[in-house]
Structure 1
Amino acid sequence: MVRIAVPAEEEMEPRVALSPETAKKYVKLGCQVVIEKGAGARSYFPDHEYENAGAELADSAEAALEGADLVLKVGPPTDAQIKAMKNGAVVAAMLEPYGPRGTIDALAQQGVLAFAMELMPRVTRAQSMDVLSSQSNLAGYKAVVDAAAAFGRAMPMMMTAAGTVPPAKVFVMGAGVAGLQAIATARRLGGVVSATDVRPAVKEQVKSLGAKFIAVEDEEFREAETAGGYAKEMSDEYKRKQNELIAEHIKSQDIVITTALIPGRPAPRLISADMVKTMKPGAIILDMAAERGGNCELTRAGEDIVHEGIRIMGPVNIPGKVPGDASSLYARNLYAFTELMIDSESGAIKVDWDDEIIQGTALTRDGAVIHPVLTGEKE
């Protein structure tokens, strides 16, 4: 019987890696599910719902982890949690593979098989396992809602006997999963929306949502996408032309949502301090890339500042602001992934190392760090 452990996350992380819904599914697979007491409380999953789903409650993380074959987490495990894991245990979590190596090295030294959910290959059969998409979708929604709440004017056009209130102009920078959801949410709230991205493939998606597409559409633009669907780093010349276009466009915007990220690198700088100075008093910039250095030069991660009348918001862990839904979706992603490794016939963990999904996400094996991103074999 596979023993599954779910320790509580650290204080700054309100999400949880297991929902009562997925706990029930694991139990149906024949697994023993043990979750630390209170682990789901901040996601609005009380302990009794896990018990009703067939899970057991543990008094501490160490008690939950004792003898566990499979460990489910949102963020990286702590040093104490790693030490409580047995040799050969499997860990599935968002392990921040592009960050400091300490945790990953510790997992390897412990003899743990660690899988980073952020590295999920972008293949059709892995769509149900894609945590970046599920969490970014919610983040794009929440970013617009928070920006609208901070905005000192109305979002939609309003016609009254005293006159007409014009709709807010919303500019979304980056049209990935988060950006597209931000566009859709801003449109639902009545904003006049425009968006930009360096990937030509998203132009039609932006337009289909009712937003205007803003970009320098030259030859470099037409080739600006990796095989994995991410944005490429653009040339200095392209950046100069794009910056000129954005600088002119941003002057008239009421709310700017920035979402641009490049895996393994600091967030690209899209808004300079000089651009901020040209914006209208009371305008809002919400920088969704704050945790990675920010798309705006003036962004401070975790802070909400006002610079010369412009409010610059640098939220961190935006999906964690809607923890109930974020946890439910993340738990389903984890279930879809870990189900691949649970052999119903033998009742044991069985890892298929020939599976491209396993290969794409595995960070450690047999005491060593093995992923090409971390071994220097791949950028």
Structure 2
Amino acid sequence: MILGILKEPSPETRVSLHPEAVKVLTASGNKVLIEKGAGESSFLSDTTYLEAGAEVKERIAVLKEAEMIFQITPMDASEHALLSKGKYLFGVYQPLVAKDLMKTLAGTGVSLFSMDSIPRISRAQSMDVLSSMSTVSGYKAVLLAAANLPRFFPMLMTAAGTIAPAKVLVIGAGVAGLQAIATAKRLGAVVEAFDTRPSVKEQVESLGGKFVEVPGAVEDTGAGGYAVEQSAEYKQKQSEMLEKSIIKSDVVITTALIPGRKAPILITKAMLEKMKSGAVVVDLAAANGGNCEGTQNNETVSIDGITVIGNSALPSTMPQDASKMYSKNVQNLLKLLLKEDQLNLNFEDAIIKGTCITHDGAIVYEPLLK
């Protein structure tokens, strides 16, 4: 197969395939083309890719010659016409949100594999882009909070007196939340965490956090590890319990998302008004509307003396390791799709079926069809 790696549009700094993956793919008989300068923002030179066995070409040549095309960010609409029927496209497309784009891509005849749709089953863990990138986001969210907080994270015993540790609340104990808990604990903060899934309590406590539990949550084991919509009664109890933790916290990190829906508002402006002056909120759900009322995506704003950082693209701030992790996820998916340099498109396989969004001129992704 001929694989093509495209350069990402700014501000994305990652690259789809790392030279380590390129070396493996070319050694197994594939041909890899890469757009000139595609790895520069990840500190990977064209020379490094050439040494790994890739051919460096202009973008138009990669789009025309490659059978499989890799770009994390959805391609520009003007380039869809260059995608001839039978090509395979890989990226992060949010199919349940970008429904019109899915129809457009289906019309081109390309087969789209959206890496954010990898089923959350044990066999697919090595391909799970969302988990990999959430690890980066959770880690970086704490560093951002620490950099913007006008006080120390750890307890300090100094000649000038004792400095109490910062209090951190993490809302949502998925992969990003758990990484945030671990990182905040390493920096010496006192950490609390909330999640609608009681099953994560043990994980939170194993990392040194205190679990804030609101009785009565509904948990769906078939939701792939995501939270599900809760009743109005539960939401009221949740809001009251969370408010107590929010107003005493120096830092709040929110990660709560429900697939295909607007992010739930968990921090209201009324809660912000009660928080300590100088406190910091890092909202990782900003791209989906945010968990904090007043969050602006890709912006840092001050609301009643509280710094609210809206950023859902933190992996791009750590492109070296984020690219390597993303690339490994893609490489593992390709192990399933490519057998001895030949495409193995087996729709009986749950991973292939769950990741393929469009194929042969139609939308085939079941959650979108429903």
Give the TM bin, normalised by the shorter chain: over 0.9
Count of residues in correspondence between the two structures: 369
Tell me how far 1:14 sits from its aligned partner: 1.1
Tell me how far 1:319 sits from its aligned partner: 0.9
Native 8 Å contact 1:95 1:118 kept in 2? yes
Native 8 Å contact 1:226 1:232 kept in 2? no
Q: Deviations over 1:145-170 (max 9, x none)?
A: 01100111111011011101111000
Native 8 Å contact 1:172 1:179 kept in 2? yes
Distance in 2 between residues matched to 1:46 and 1:199, nearest whole Å: 44
User: Secondary structure of 1:363's match?
Assistant: strand
Native 8 Å contact 1:113 1:363 kept in 2? yes
For residue 321 of structure 2, the aligned residue among 325, 329, 338 is 325
Distance in 2 between residues matched to 1:68 and 1:331, nearest whole Å: 18
Distance in 1 between residues matched to 2:185 and 2:79, nearest whole Å: 44
Q: Does 2:44 correspond to 1:10?
A: no
Q: Does 2:224 correspond to 1:225?
A: no
User: Secondary structure of 2:301's match?
Assistant: strand
For residue 304 of structure 1, the aligned residue among 300, 306, 317 is 300
Query: Partner amino acid for 1:315?
Result: N
Query: Partner amino acid for 2:14?
Result: R
Native 8 Å contact 2:174 2:225 kept in 1? no
For residue 200 of structure 1, the aligned residue among 195, 198, 201 is 198
Aligned residue number for residue 332 of structure 2 = 336
Tell me how far 1:171 sits from its aligned partner: 0.4
Give the structure-2-normalised TM-score.
Answer: 0.97
For residue 154 of structure 2, the aligned residue among 141, 153, 156 is 156
For residue 365 of structure 1, the aligned residue among 356, 359, 364 is 359
Aligned residue number for residue 342 of structure 2 = 348
User: Secondary structure of 1:45's match?
Assistant: coil
Native 8 Å contact 1:68 1:85 kept in 2? no
Alignment of 1:98-247 (within 5 A): 98-217=96-215, 220-221=216-217, 223-227=218-222, 228-247=224-243
Aligned residue number for residue 32 of structure 1 = 31
Deviates more, 1:96-105 or 1:194-203: 96-105
Native 8 Å contact 2:153 2:166 kept in 1? yes
Native 8 Å contact 1:77 1:103 kept in 2? no
- What is the Cα-based RMSD across aligned positions, in Å? 1.2
Distance in 2 between residues matched to 1:334 and 1:62, nearest whole Å: 23
Native 8 Å contact 1:68 1:86 kept in 2? no
Q: Deviations over 1:320-346 (max 9, x none)?
A: 1111111110011001002212120xx
Aligned residue number for residue 281 of structure 1 = 277
Tell me how far 1:131 sits from its aligned partner: 0.2
Gaps of 5+ in 2: none
Distance in 1 between residues matched to 2:100 and 2:245, nearest whole Å: 43
Tell me how far 1:103 sits from its aligned partner: 2.8
Tell me how far 1:86 sits from its aligned partner: 2.9
Native 8 Å contact 2:281 2:307 kept in 1? yes
Tell me how far 1:315 sits from its aligned partner: 1.6
Distance in 2 between residues matched to 1:22 and 1:205, nearest whole Å: 32
